[in-house]
């Protein structure tokens, strides 16, 4: 089998083809959309109920992606919550989450389907033993029973009551050729298998594509998607995220952590810490019983937010003290145990 096509063999005729027609998206046809997500405000509330803090721009993009329906392309730095959007949507709707993790060299055999060659060979030998080998036709060995379904094909053929959430994660790690292969799926909700035919979705999956923008995706792919950039959050929004995901965090500690991370992002680090690192660091400090960043053991936890040794050495060489001074002077807060940040929801 070649990477982005069939097996190289010529199959005579199309044996199996799903011809389910998809109606144009209309408000009535959008009835498969879960009711909590039937408005922008509903999307924001549903995300908040599932501990995801989103602004109105992201909520609007999600709502339109569900209503039209169109794939949602989320770009942004690593650790800002792109993948979590798909996980949260699956949790809200109760739909299955099907994830395709992209990487260099990803091909059809790992993304869409491959043939179970060992079963095919056993079937051929069984037919020969029964004397029916000469009468065999392609359908005898190239049928659905010999097909190993990978994530993209699973998303089209799901029999669940609700359309699945298909997460194509970190597409920028894949090759340019794979972008081109996705065009048929994203425009017509179908895939073509040379030996079988065209497989169409009975109802389009909810597609979320993420990219860290390590390379530019094809313009043709972007045209088929709704686009949204997820940036690093503001200080107040990051405080709200910490309060939502780690309830019970003392206000003094959460504000110092978020202010420290915000200040660190303004420096030229190899890997700028994202929201995921903020949550990891806060959880680690809570586990160690740390109440404020001035405690001496805090500097030993820098591995929670820094992933390059050069960055660790730079902070230990003086930048940590500089940032700590900046944080403590900018936002002095009385140490009141048990006080938790409860800002108003981001809008």
CATH of the domain at 88: 3.40.50.300
Residue 17, pLDDT above cutoff 60: no
Residue 220 lies in a domain: yes
pLDDT score recorded for residue 20? 33
Chain segment 74-103, per-residue pLDDT in tens:
999 999 999 999 999 999 999 999 999 999
Which of the four pLDDT bands, split at 50, 70 and 90, describes residue 129? confident
Residue 147 lies in a domain: yes
Residue 131, pLDDT above cutoff 80: no
The domain in which residue 300 lies consists of: 235-330
pLDDT score recorded for residue 140? 78
Same-domain status, 87 and 214: yes
Final residue before a domain boundary, out of 230, 250, 267: 230
Residue 333, pLDDT above cutoff 90: no
pLDDT score recorded for residue 101? 98
pLDDT score recorded for residue 72? 98
What 3-state class would DSSP assign to 37?
Answer: helix
Same-domain status, 224 and 239: no
Nearest C-alpha neighbor of 281 from the set 260, 252, 312: 260
As a whole-number percent, the residues of the chain with pLDDT over 70 amount to 83
Same-domain status, 176 and 220: yes
**For all residues of the chain together, what is the average pLDDT?**
86
Same-domain status, 44 and 171: yes
pLDDT score recorded for residue 35? 72
Residue 277, pLDDT above cutoff 90: yes
Task: Kindly report the length of the chain.
Answer: 347
Greater pLDDT, 11 or 176: 176
Which of the four pLDDT bands, split at 50, 70 and 90, describes residue 33? low
Distance, in Å, from the CA atom of 38 to the CA atom of 238, rounded to the nearest integer, reads: 27
Same-domain status, 195 and 254: no
Residue 129 lies in a domain: no
Strand partners, 73: 209, 227
Same-domain status, 198 and 253: no
Nearest C-alpha neighbor of 4 from the set 81, 113, 95: 113
Same-domain status, 309 and 214: no
Residue 150 lies in a domain: yes
Residue 226, pLDDT above cutoff 80: yes
Residue 96 lies in a domain: yes
Residue 135, pLDDT above cutoff 90: no
Residue 310 lies in a domain: yes
Give the DSSP per-residue string, 131-173: T-GGG--HHHHSSGGGEEE-HHHHHHH--SSS--EEEEETGGG
Same-domain status, 173 and 69: yes
Distance, in Å, from the CA atom of 199 to the CA atom of 190, rounded to the nearest integer, reads: 5
Distance, in Å, from the CA atom of 237 to the CA atom of 62, rounded to the nearest integer, reads: 19
Give the global pTM: 0.82
Residue 308, pLDDT above cutoff 90: yes
Residue 205 lies in a domain: yes
DSSP percent split of the chain into helix, strand, coil, nearest 5:
50, 10, 40
Same-domain status, 322 and 174: no
Residue 3, pLDDT above cutoff 90: no
- Structure tokens, 23: 């109606």
Chain segment 138-179, per-residue pLDDT in tens:
777 888 889 999 999 999 998 668 899 999 999 999 999 999
Same-domain status, 108 and 254: no
What 8-state DSSP symbol labels residue 247?
T
pLDDT score recorded for residue 102? 98
Decide if 52 contacts 84 (C-beta within 8 A).
yes
Same-domain status, 219 and 242: no
pLDDT score recorded for residue 329? 78
As a whole-number percent, the residues of the chain with pLDDT over 90 amount to 72
Final residue before a domain boundary, out of 197, 215, 230: 230
- With a CB cutoff of 8 Å and minimum separation 6, the contacts of 227 are 61, 73, 75
Distance, in Å, from the CA atom of 272 to the CA atom of 311, rounded to the nearest integer, reads: 9
Which of the four pLDDT bands, split at 50, 70 and 90, describes residue 256? very high
How many structural domains is the chain composed of? 2
Residue 134 lies in a domain: no
Final residue before a domain boundary, out of 230, 245, 267: 230
Same-domain status, 312 and 281: yes
């Amino acid at each position: 089998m070649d990477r982005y096509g069939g097996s190289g063999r010529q199959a005579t005729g199309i044996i199996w083809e799903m011809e389910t027609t998809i109606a144009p998206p209309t408000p009535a046809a959008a009835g498969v959309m879960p009711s909590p997500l039937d408005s922008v405000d509903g999307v924001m509330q549903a995300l908040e109920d599932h501990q995801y803090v989103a602004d109105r721009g992201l909520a609007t993009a999600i709502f339109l992606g569900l209503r039209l329906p169109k794939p949602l392309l989320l770009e942004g730095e690593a650790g800002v919550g792109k993948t979590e959007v798909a996980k949260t949507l699956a949790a809200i709707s109760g739909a299955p989450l099907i994830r395709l993790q992209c990487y260099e060299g990803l091909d059809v055999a790992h993304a869409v389907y491959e043939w179970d060659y060992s079963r095919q060979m056993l079937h051929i030998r069984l037919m020969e033993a029964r004397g029916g080998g000469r009468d065999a036709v392609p359908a005898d060995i190239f049928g659905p029973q010999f097909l190993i379904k990978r994530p993209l094909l699973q998303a089209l053929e799901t029999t669940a009551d609700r359309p699945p959430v298909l997460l194509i994660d970190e597409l920028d790690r894949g090759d340019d050729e794979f972008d081109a292969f996705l065009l048929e799926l994203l425009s017509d909700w179908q895939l073509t298998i040379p030996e079988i035919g065209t497989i169409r979705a009975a109802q389009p999956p909810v597609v979320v594509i993420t990219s860290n923008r390590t390379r530019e995706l094809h313009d043709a792919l972007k045209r088929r998607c709704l686009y949204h950039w997820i940036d690093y959050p503001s200080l107040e929004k990051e405080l709200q995220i910490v309060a939502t995901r780690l309830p019970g965090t003392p206000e003094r500690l959460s504000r110092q952590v978020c202010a420290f991370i915000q200040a660190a992002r303004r420096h030229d680090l190899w890997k700028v810490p994202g929201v995921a690192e903020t949550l990891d660091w806060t959880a680690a400090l809570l586990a160690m019983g740390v109440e404020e960043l001035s405690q001496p053991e805090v500097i030993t936890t820098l591995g929670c937010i820094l992933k390059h040794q050069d960055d660790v050495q730079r902070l230990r060489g003086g930048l940590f003290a500089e940032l700590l001074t900046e944080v403590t002077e900018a936002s002095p807060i009385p140490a009141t145990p048990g006080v938790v940040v409860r800002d108003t929801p981001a809008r």
